[in-house]
Amino acid sequence: MATMLQKFPSSVSTLNDYNALYPDWTQREVSTGTTIMAVEFDGGVVMGADSRTTTGAYIANRVTDKLTPIHERIFCCRSGSAADTQAIADAVTYQLGFHSIELDEAPLVQTAASLFRDMCYRYREELMAGIIVAGWDRRRGGQVYTVPVGGMMTRQPVSVGGSGSSYIYGFVDSNYKPAMSKEECLKFTAEALTLAMERDGSSGGVVRLAVISEQGVERQVILGNQLPKFSTV
């Protein structure tokens, strides 16, 4: 629909802004503005994301699920262009499923991350995708791999991504301690995401959390009025 609309050059009229005839969201791509985060703990990982998808200034989906399953115990958090990340996640899900059947055992988190990295690096000029891959496998337990825009891949004990992540680097750096328990990780993630959502216009809605461990996946949602409160926020 956006391609049918004409963009008027400024020479058409200096008195009227003809480009204001059509709302902003008809000419913008859908983006998962976003704040995403994942933390390793002994025995698994905690992943979290906000729930806002924007088309320009319009919130296309205020209850988005950005935590996408790639395999039974491997999830990814998506940020950047919604279309690109959905397409990449679908492709990797297929490839990983095939690989797992060939191997006849559960795939490694590192394998999933590598598949994301290969695709994001090969098509880096066309894509706009920042992805955090996290999960549990038998060989190395809970792992978090980050594949930011450009196609690098690295493992980190805690990783944040998306437009809202800039605002919480200080909070994450100061509050993260190695060897936190599952409950501490959940609290840490929920607080960090709440702080980012308060400051970043492209992040908001509810906080979605997922805990992945040997036992499986537990998902939770923290609604707007139940988010942690801070004195200034």
Partner 1 sequence: MDSHHSYSQVKGVSTGVSNLFIKSYVSSKTINKLIQVHDRIFCCIAGSLADAQAVTKMAKFQLSFHSIQMESPPLVKAAASIMRELCYNNKEELQAGFITAGWDRKKGPQIYVVSLGGMLLSQPFTIGGSGSTYIYGYVDAKFKPDMSLEEAIQFSTNALALAMGRDNVSGGVVHLVVITEAEVKHVVVPGNKLPKFHDE
- Dihedral over Cα of 178, 146, 54, 48: its sign: negative
Cβ distance to partner 1 smaller for residue 166 or 215: 166
Q: How far apart are CA 76 and CA 86, in angstroms?
A: 11
State the virtual CA torsion across 92, 98, 104, 105 in degrees, nearest 10: 10
Residue among 170 and 216 whose Cβ is closer to partner 1? 170
Q: Does 233 bind partner 1 (CB under 8 A)?
A: yes
The end-to-end CA distance of the chain, in Å, is: 39
Q: Give the C-alpha separation, 77 to 193, whole Å.
A: 13
What are the strands, taking DSSP E only, across the chain? 30-32, 36-41, 44-49, 53-55, 58-61, 67-71, 74-81, 129-137, 141-147, 154-155, 158-161, 207-213, 216-222
Residues in contact with partner 1, counted by CB under 8 A, come to a total of 23
Residue 94 interacts with partner 1 (CB under 8 A): yes or no: no
201 binds partner 1 (CB under 8 A): no
The Cα 120–Cα 130 span in angstroms is 9
Q: State the binding string over 118-157 for partner 1 (x if CB under 8 A, else -).
A: ----------------------------------------
Q: Tokens in use for 80?
A: 């950047």
Long-range contacts of 171-180, Cβ-Cβ distance < 8 Å, separation of 24 or more:
171/195, 172/37, 176/39, 179/41, 179/42, 180/39, 180/41
Q: Report the Cα 163 to chain-centroid distance in Å.
A: 10
Part in contact with partner 1 (CB under 8 A); list of ranges 23-31, 108-116, 118-126, 167-175: 167-175
Q: Which of residues 213-232 bind partner 1 (CB under 8 A)?
A: 230-232
Smallest distance from the beta carbon of 19 to partner 1, in angstroms? 23
Closest approach, Cβ 66 to partner 1, in A, equals 19
Q: Which is nearer to partner 1, 39 or 82 (CB)?
A: 39
Q: Quote the least distance from Cβ 174 to partner 1, whole Å.
A: 6
- The yes-or-no answer on residue 34 being catalytic is yes
Catalytic residue among 3, 32, 34, 93: 34
198 binds partner 1 (CB under 8 A): yes
Answer yes or no whether residue 192 interacts with partner 1 by CB under 8 A.
yes
Binding range to partner 1, per CB under 8 A, among 52-60, 109-117, 144-152, 196-204: 196-204
- Do residues 106 and 55 lie in contact, with contact meaning Cβ atoms separated by under 8 Å? no
**174 lines the binding site for partner 1 (CB under 8 A):** yes
| C-alpha radius of gyration, the chain, whole number | 19
Q: Does 181 bind partner 1 (CB under 8 A)?
A: no
Task: Return the active site residues.
Answer: 34
Q: Residues in the site for partner 1, rule: CB under 8 A?
A: 166-178, 191-192, 195-196, 198-199, 230-233
